[in-house]
């Protein structure tokens, strides 16, 4: 008897006969259904009970697909019939399951065409619940087991199953929502599809207008976003390079102090930098007032608009460029520069003709990261935008504002997606074609040359100014949580911390009375749920990419890394459009938040996994396989233990990102599942800067401790096997992109 | 001894209740709320405490809630819809999405609340109202040597150039109310001339309705055109904000409450409805700095809040200016004629 088939058969039968078929109104974790009319009440009934009562008869063919593999369960894997039956049952079962889900909704038939063909249905159905979910999983693995039996990937059931699972997940939670969004951009007010409507919306003057060139009117949002992103990309790269040079080639002993800077953007909640900038440079800001008094100038609102966003984004994203470039600068082999100097080039010539060109891929990479980050940034333009509209905020207001125009949001999201995907594609092409190898594995003696003076001194100056500025901004953030009314009344107080985090202890136990606890625990819970799942999915994907060969591997890789280039606002909009209605009714649940984090942060796990798995010699797997273990066991007992550092890195980053993410979250939170960042945005909108800042400071402290603890754990894990030092840092450039 | 027995008895009953509670479906109410988050939460918690009925709250803007009611019309999931501007409530009543109900509390309410109910066939009722106006930052005004404004037309003076903020009517209901008010107050022709003149003085069209006064509170702006209760809320938080009720008269909004037609828990919805109209419940709005005028005559109001009776209110035509055709027409006109002008 084939045990794999038996397992999935049992899972499917449980889904069909035991668990409620439809989604539970009370939420995923409610167990009211067990006591309230189960198994006959049609809201809670498993599919088989529905059928026995003569309801939802369109579910009956599913039983056929579920039970068909019983015919072949005692046959050998190599029997052609075995694979044929499994493939058909799984494939057709999945198709039928989805087709019925999409065609019958809460108001009967979902499309006019079906209504015309089959007539009035007189019945309806809600979204998939536990039952449908399990049956779907069982169909999926029937299919992959069937495919494996045909000899694909050496007939390995585990590998084919994993590939199938990853494809299904990515398809369901990345491609489906994005496609759904594309289709809603094509609809007019009446829900009719029309290309004309799309083009009139897409080429709207408000998106592409160029009035700013000829008059005082603003330009279209697309141009605003594009010019801002180009500027931010260029300047962060420049600053990042300066920092990287000072850190590695200045000969300054304090230079290593720059490193912790890289953690800052990852653990800083959105908005706080924008708020600090307003309090420094706003109309009534400290610096503005000081300068105005000093020179007798009229204070102005110059900071609102492009200048303010630019400063805030430079502060936020320069450390990312630094992080990317420090690796590149360190990687340049000193021997090349020594060769150049031996040939009598001056330090400046060497720098200009040898070192700098070798850094090109790193520079391009840093530029593109800055570009994508700026495009996707949501918090800073929201606070500092003034009349300078950018795509990410326009998308938000198209959904939440009085317009409530999902079609417009979808069109804007598409424009944004085109920009970032182009950048993403350009990056891959650039990195794919050129080789800048400097590490050859051969003897690599020598120490890095110092920079020429004419580069070094300006660099020092910039780093000092910038470092001081960053310190002032973060100092203000901490200080702002302890004053009565930031900007007006600077009496010191613990008021905001008490309002947000008050705890009372009496005979009945601990009472979390502060207004922030609710969202704080929700955030911790959701981040802690999402982190291991993200790491697991990422590592399995990395394993498939590094260790296995199969057809379509490149497309597979591109698909899994795609969410990298999709800004959070776009994912948010896409998820609302796709998961608000049956068959996948997820909005308003905590599950949708967890899912959005998993797929937004998955590339981090994949990257971390690939980096560390490439360092493990394949002979280890082979040894295990030769000794009779199957791939699952090899993966579990050989590879996983050796990858502890990568696992921890992926865990930390997905946890921290889940705590500071805002752009997708803002669309997906609900009253029951409110997240810290959306609570903070509410406080900012209410002009309660004190609480917003106090909460942000607490979040920063919490995340710093998490990072520190994990760092310690990673350090210990290193002893088990030689790996490249600073693995956590390697994963970081990926981590920060996911926003 | 007797006390112990009573205590034991009640514990047993409570235990049995708890055990069987899951068998008998708990009393519950699904509550759609379109006001500010903390106010929604206050109402939900208050009702739970007062009645023991479990409240499932969803907070969405009034437009979104309206869309949701439409989508769920065949299978309503909500019981009661509280808060949010009156237009969508009236629209829902018109489309038969909400259930007529005449509350015994009606005798205690202001006339405008009843009038709102009658124009909606008794399927909605007014729970609060707020008048439009503007607020200014005293300190900034003084620092710039500007005169104190008192009327709408004052805002057109050239010395206020770069000192006035309002929201974009395309993205904010408040700003649309402003546009509609000006059109009703001065007539369409002159009203648009006013908007064009105002445009010259505007330093930023914000996205959200109350943002202009919040910026003014922080000294980042001087005058913000908003609902007066929003300006009062800033003053109450300690910011140097003064509230102005324009001398020519002004428009207003009425916040609505409606029971969903075909609600799953209609009795609980009615309980909530009556409860929400009580004076002591409405007085609690001050706790969350909601300074609207409440519909129960006996409800307390903040000394800072503007007295609706002392204001000159225009006869705001909610039916005409709430309709989506008129809305689209005015917004397009504003887009084409006002927003494109140089500043």
- Cβ contacts of A35 on chain B, cutoff 8 Å: 22-23
- Block residue for tokens 């829902």: B92
B81 and B89 Cβ atoms separated by less than 8 Å: yes
Please tell me whether residues B119 and B144 are part of one structural domain. no
* Cα angle: A258, vertex A263, A266; to 5 degrees: 145
Helices and strands per DSSP (H, E), number in chain B: 14, 11
Chain A nearest CA to B129, separation (Å): 19
Residue A59 structure tokens = 């579910």
Task: Give every CB contact of residue A603 below 8 A, 6+ residues apart in sequence.
Answer: A538, A560, A561, A563, A564, A734, A737, A738
Global pTM?
A: 0.81
pLDDT of A438 reads 53
Nearest to A485 among B77, B204, B238 (CB): B238
Q: Residue B166's beta-bridge partner residues? A: B205
Best residue in B41, B66, B218, B241 for a mutation probing chain A (most A CBs within 10 Å):
B218
Query: CA-to-CA distance for A709 and A711, rounded, in angstroms?
Result: 5
Half-sphere exposure of A680 (CA within 13 A, CB side): 29
pLDDT at A27: 65
Best probe of the B interface among A402, A514, A667, by most B CBs < 10 A, is: A402
Spatial separation of the C-alpha atoms in residues B65 and B57, rounded to whole Å: 12
DSSP β-bridge partners for residue B136: B223, B242
In a domain, B174, yes or no: yes
User: Is there a single domain that holds both residue B215 and residue B145?
Assistant: yes
Instruction: Measure A689 CA to nearest chain B CA, in Å.
Output: 10
The whole-angstrom separation of Cα B184 and Cα B250 is 9
Structural domain contains residue B18: no
E strands, B12-79, in order: 28-33, 54-59
Whether residue B282 contacts residue B296, with contact meaning beta carbons closer than 8 Å, is answered with: yes
- The residues, any chain, with a CB within 8 Å of residue A611's CB and separated by 6 or more, are A646, A724, A727, A730, A731
Shared-domain flag, residues B218 and B294: no
Query: Between the CA of residue A21 and those of A91, A189, A584, what are the distances in Å?
Result: 20, 34, 13
Of B58, B71, B171, which is closest to A402 when you measure between CB atoms? Answer: B171
**Which of B34, B78, B143, B171 to mutate: most A Cβ within 10 Å?**
B171
Chains A, B: CB contacts within 8 A come to 95
Q: Evaluate whether residue B156 is within a structural domain.
A: yes
Q: Quick one: closest CA in A to B77, which residue?
A: A25
Question: What would the pLDDT profile of A390-426 be if each residue is shown by its tens digit?
Answer: 998 888 888 776 666 778 888 998 899 899 888 878 8
- Do the Cβ atoms of A393 and B207 come within 8 Å? yes
Task: Indicate whether B82 belongs to any domain.
Answer: yes
pLDDT digits over B253-268, tens only? 999 999 999 888 999 9
Nearest chain A residue (CA) to B174: A402
Please give the Cα distance from A717 to A695 (Å, whole number).
33
Selection from A66, A63, A70 nearest residue A89 by Cα: A66
How far is A177 from A563, CA to CA, in rounded Å? 12
pLDDT computed for residue A181 by the predictor: 83
Whether B154 and B38 share a structural domain: no
CATH number, domain of B290, equals 3.40.190.10
pLDDT for position A306: 92
Residue B260 lies in a domain: yes
Q: Token pair for residue A10?
A: 């049992």
Q: What is B60-81 written as a DSSP string?
A: --HHHHHHHHHHTTTS---SEE
pLDDT at A476: 85
Contact A401 B59 (CB under 8 A): no
Q: Measure A155 CA to nearest chain B CA, in Å.
A: 48
Across the interface, whether the CB atoms of B57 and A682 are under 8 A apart is answered no
Q: Is position B2 within any domain?
A: no
Residue with token string 């001894």: B1
**Chain mean position to CA A539:** 15
Query: Measured in whole angstroms, how far is the alpha carbon of residue B83 from the centre of its chain?
Result: 6
pLDDT of residue A64: 92
Extract the residue ranges of chain A whose pLDDT is less than 70: 25-29, 189-191, 216, 253, 255, 401-404, 431-449, 508, 671-672, 714-739
Please report, in angstroms and rounded to a whole number, the separation of the first and last CA atoms in chain B. 83
B173 and B123 part of one domain: no
Q: In this structure, are B212 and B75 located in the same domain? A: no
- Tell me, what's the pLDDT at B7? 47
Residues on chain B touching A216 (C-beta within 8 angstroms): 342-343
In this structure, what token pair is assigned to residue B195?
A: 């908007």
**A283/B63 Cβ within 8 A:** no
Domain count, chain B: 2
At A714 the pLDDT is: 60
pLDDT of residue A403: 63
Considering CB atoms only, which of B72, B214, B218 is closest to A487?
A: B218
Q: B293-294 and B125-137: which strand pairing? A: antiparallel
Do B240 and B147 share a structural domain?
A: yes
Task: Say which of B77, B234, B342 has its CB closest to residue A216.
Answer: B342
Measured CB to CB, residues of chain A less than 8 Å from chain B are 25, 32, 35-36, 106-107, 124, 215-217, 278, 282-284, 301, 304, 386-387, 393, 397, 400-404, 485, 487-489, 581, 588, 670-671, 682, 685-687
Most confident region among A430-439, B3-12, B224-233 by mean pLDDT: B224-233
**Is the separation of the CB atoms in A675 and A657 below 8 Å?**
no
pLDDT for B206: 86
The answer to whether position B21 is within a domain reads: no
Can you give A600-663 as a three-state secondary structure string? Answer: HHHHHHHHHHHHHHCCCCHHHHHHHHHCCCCHHHHHHHHHHHHCHHHHHHHHHHHHHHHHHCCC
Cβ contacts (< 8 Å) between B205 and chain A: which residues? Answer: 387
The closest CB to that of A283, out of B25, B75, B219, belongs to: B219
d(CA B152, CA A144): 71
DSSP A355: I
Whether residue B151 sits in one domain with residue B108: no
Q: Which of B30, B215, B220 to mutate to test the interface with A (most CBs of A within 10 A)?
A: B220
Cα–Cα distances in angstroms (integers) from residue A48 to residues A14, A41, B304, in the given order: 10, 12, 64
The reply to whether B186 and B233 lie within a common domain is yes
What is the reported pLDDT for B166? 94
Statement to judge: residues B55 and B103 lie in one domain: yes
Site from B140, B219, B237 to mutate, A interface, most A CB atoms within 10 angstroms: B219
Structural domain boundaries enclosing B222: 131-252+320-338
Asked if A124 and B162 come within 8 Å (Cβ–Cβ), the reply is no
**Separation between Cα atoms, residue A81 and residue A69, nearest integer Å:** 10
What confidence score (pLDDT) does residue B100 get? 95
In chain A, residues with a C-beta closer than 8 Å to the C-beta of B162 are: 301
H or E, element range at B204: strand B202-206
Residue B226's CB: how many other CB atoms inside 10 A?
A: 32
Question: Under an 8 A CB cutoff, do A217 and B340 touch?
Answer: yes
- Domains of chain A, first to last: 3-150 (no CATH), 217-389+450-480 (1.10.3720.10), 512-737 (1.10.3720.10)
pLDDT on residue B11: 45
Q: Which of B176, B219, B238 minimises the CB distance to A402? A: B176
Residue of B nearest to A281 (CA): B220
Provide, as residue numbers in chain B, all residues whose Cβ is less than 8 Å from the Cβ of A106.
Answer: 71-72, 74-75
How far apart CA B194 and CA A26 sit, in angstroms, is: 52
Strand B80-85 to strand B28-33: parallel, antiparallel, or no bridges (unpaired)? parallel
Whether A226 and A440 have beta carbons less than 8 Å apart is answered as no
Is B64 in the same domain as B184? no
Name the residue facing A687 among B25, B59, B234 (closest C-beta): B234
Residue A319 has what pLDDT?
Answer: 82
Domain co-membership, B277 together with B207 = no
Closest-CA distance of chain B to residue A282, Å: 6
Report DSSP letters for B233-300, one per residue.
Answer: HHHHTT--EEEE--TT-B-EEEEEEEEETT-SSHHHHHHHHHHHTSHHHHHGGGGGT--SEESBTTS-
- The residue among A510, A514, A672, A530 whose CA lies nearest residue A588 is A672
Residue B114 belongs to a domain:
yes
pLDDT at residue B20 is higher than 50: no
Residue appearing with tokens 């606002």: A569
Alpha-carbon distance of A393 to A377, in angstroms, equals 9
Question: Do the Cβ atoms of B37 and A403 come within 8 Å?
Answer: no
The band of B139, judged by pLDDT with boundaries at 50, 70 and 90, is: very high
Interface contact flag, B75 A124, Cβ < 8 Å: yes
């Amino acid at each position: 008897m084939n045990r794999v088939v038996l397992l999935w058969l049992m899972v499917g039968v449980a889904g069909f006969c035991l668990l409620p078929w439809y989604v539970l109104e009370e939420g995923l974790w409610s167990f009211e259904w067990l006591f309230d009319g189960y198994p006959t009440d049609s809201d809670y009934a498993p599919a088989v009970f529905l059928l026995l009562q003569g309801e939802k008869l369109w579910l009956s063919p599913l039983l056929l697909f579920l039970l068909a593999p019983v015919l072949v369960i005692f046959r050998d894997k190599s029997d052609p019939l075995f694979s044929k039956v499994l493939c058909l049952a799984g494939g057709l079962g999945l198709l039928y399951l989805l087709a019925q889900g999409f065609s019958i909704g809460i108001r009967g038939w979902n499309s006019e065409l079906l209504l015309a063909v089959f007539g009035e249905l007189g019945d309806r159905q809600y979204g998939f619940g536990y039952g449908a979910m399990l049956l779907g999983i069982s169909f999926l693995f029937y299919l992959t087991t069937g495919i494996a039996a045909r000899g694909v990937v050496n007939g390995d059931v585990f590998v084919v199953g994993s590939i199938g699972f990853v494809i299904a997940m990515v398809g369901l939670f990345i491609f489906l929502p994005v496609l759904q969004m594309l289709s809603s951009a094509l609809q007019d007010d009446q829900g009719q599809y029309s290309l004309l409507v799309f083009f009139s919306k897409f080429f709207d003057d408000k998106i592409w207008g160029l009035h700013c060139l000829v008059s005082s009117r603003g330009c279209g949002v697309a141009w605003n976003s594009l010019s801002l992103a180009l500027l931010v990309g260029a300047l962060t790269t420049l600053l990042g390079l300066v920092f990287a040079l000072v850190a590695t080639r200045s000969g300054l002993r304090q230079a290593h102090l720059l490193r912790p800077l890289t953690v800052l953007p990852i653990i800083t909640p959105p908005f706080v930098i924008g708020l600090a900038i307003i309090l420094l440079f706003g109309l009534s800001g400290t610096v503005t007032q000081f300068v105005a008094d000093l020179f007798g100038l009229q204070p102005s609102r110059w900071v609102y608009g492009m200048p303010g966003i630019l400063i805030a984004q430079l502060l936020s994203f320069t450390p990312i460029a630094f992080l990317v470039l420090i690796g590149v600068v360190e990687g340049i082999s000193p021997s090349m520069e020594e060769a150049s100097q031996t040939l009598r080039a001056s330090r400046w010539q060497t720098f200009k003709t040898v070192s700098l060109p070798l850094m090109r891929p790193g520079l391009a990479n840093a530029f593109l990261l800055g570009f994508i980050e700026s495009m996707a940034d949501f918090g800073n333009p929201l606070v500092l935008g003034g009349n300078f509209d950018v795509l990410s905020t326009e998308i938000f207001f198209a959904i939440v504002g009085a317009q409530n125009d999902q079609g417009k949001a979808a069109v804007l999201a598409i424009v944004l997606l085109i920009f970032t995907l182009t950048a993403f594609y350009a990056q891959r092409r650039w990195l794919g074609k050129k080789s800048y190898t400097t590490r050859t594995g051969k003897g690599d003696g020598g120490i890095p040359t110092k920079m020429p003076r004419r580069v070094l001194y300006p660099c020092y100056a910039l780093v000092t100014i910038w470092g001081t500025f960053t310190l002032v901004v973060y100092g203000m953030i901490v200080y702002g949580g302890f004053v009565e009314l930031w900007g007006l009344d600077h009496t010191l107080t613990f008021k905001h911390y008490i309002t947000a985090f008050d705890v009372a202890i009496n005979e009945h136990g601990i009472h979390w009375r502060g207004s922030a606890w609710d969202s704080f625990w929700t955030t911790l819970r959701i981040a802690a749920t999402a982190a291991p799942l993200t790491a697991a999915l990422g590592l399995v994907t990395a394993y498939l990419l590094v260790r296995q060969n199969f057809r379509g591997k490149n497309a597979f890789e591109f698909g899994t890394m795609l969410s990298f280039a999709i800004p959070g606002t776009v994912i948010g909009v896409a998820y609302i459009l796709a998961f608000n209605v049956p068959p996948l009714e997820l909005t308003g649940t905590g599950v949708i938040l967890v899912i959005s984090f998993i797929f937004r942060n998955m590339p981090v796990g994949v990257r971390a996994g690939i980096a560390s798995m490439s360092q493990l010699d394949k002979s280890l797997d082979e040894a295990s396989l030769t000794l009779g273990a199957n791939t699952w066991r090899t993966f579990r007992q050989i590879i996983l233990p050796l990858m502890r550092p990568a696992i921890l890195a992926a865990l930390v980053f997905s946890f921290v990102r889940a705590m500071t993410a805002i752009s997708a979250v803002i669309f997906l939170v609900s009253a029951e599942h409110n997240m810290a960042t959306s609570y903070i945005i509410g406080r900012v909108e209410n002009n309660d800067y004190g609480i917003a800042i106090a909460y942000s400071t607490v979040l920063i402290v919490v995340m710093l401790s998490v990072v520190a603890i994990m760092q310690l754990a990673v350090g210990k894990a290193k002893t088990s096997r030689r790996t490249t030092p600073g693995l956590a840092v390697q994963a970081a450039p990926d981590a920060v992109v996911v926003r | 001894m007797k006390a112990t027995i009573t205590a034991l008895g009640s514990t047993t009953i409570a235990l049995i209740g708890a055990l069987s509670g899951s068998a008998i479906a708990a009393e519950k109410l699904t509550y759609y709320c379109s006001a500010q988050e903390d106010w929604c939460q206050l109402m939900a918690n208050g009702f739970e405490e007062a009645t023991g009925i479990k409240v499932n709250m969803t907070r969405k803007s009034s437009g979104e809630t309206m869309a949701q009611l439409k989508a769920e019309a065949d299978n309503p999931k909500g019981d009661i819809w509280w808060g949010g501007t009156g237009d969508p409530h009236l629209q829902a009543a018109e489309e038969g999405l909400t259930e007529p109900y005449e509350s015994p509390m009606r005798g205690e309410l202001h006339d405008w609340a009843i009038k709102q109910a009658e124009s909606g066939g008794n399927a909605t009722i007014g729970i609060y109202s707020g008048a439009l106006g503007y607020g200014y930052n005293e300190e900034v005004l003084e620092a710039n040597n500007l005169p104190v404004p008192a009327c709408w037309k004052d805002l057109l003076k050239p010395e206020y150039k770069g000192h006035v903020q309002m929201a974009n009517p395309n993205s904010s209901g408040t700003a649309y109310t402003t546009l509609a008010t000006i059109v009703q107050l001065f007539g369409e022709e002159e009203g648009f001339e006013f908007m064009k003149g105002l445009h010259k003085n505007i330093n930023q069209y914000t996205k959200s309705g109350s943002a202009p006064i919040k910026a003014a509170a922080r000294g980042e702006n001087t005058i913000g055109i908003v609902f007066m209760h929003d300006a009062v809320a800033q003053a109450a938080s300690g910011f140097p904000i003064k509230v102005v009720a324009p001398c020519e008269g002004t428009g207003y909004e009425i916040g609505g409450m409606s029971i969903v037609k075909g609600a799953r828990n209609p009795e609980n919805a009615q309980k909530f409805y009556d409860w929400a109209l009580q004076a002591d419940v409405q007085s609690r709005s001050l706790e969350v700095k909601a300074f609207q005028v409440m519909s129960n005559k006996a409800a307390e109001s903040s000394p800072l809040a503007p007295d609706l009776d002392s204001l000159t209110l225009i006869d705001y035509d909610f039916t005409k200016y709430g309709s989506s055709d008129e809305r689209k027409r005015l917004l397009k006109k504003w887009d084409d004629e006002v927003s494109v002008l140089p500043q």
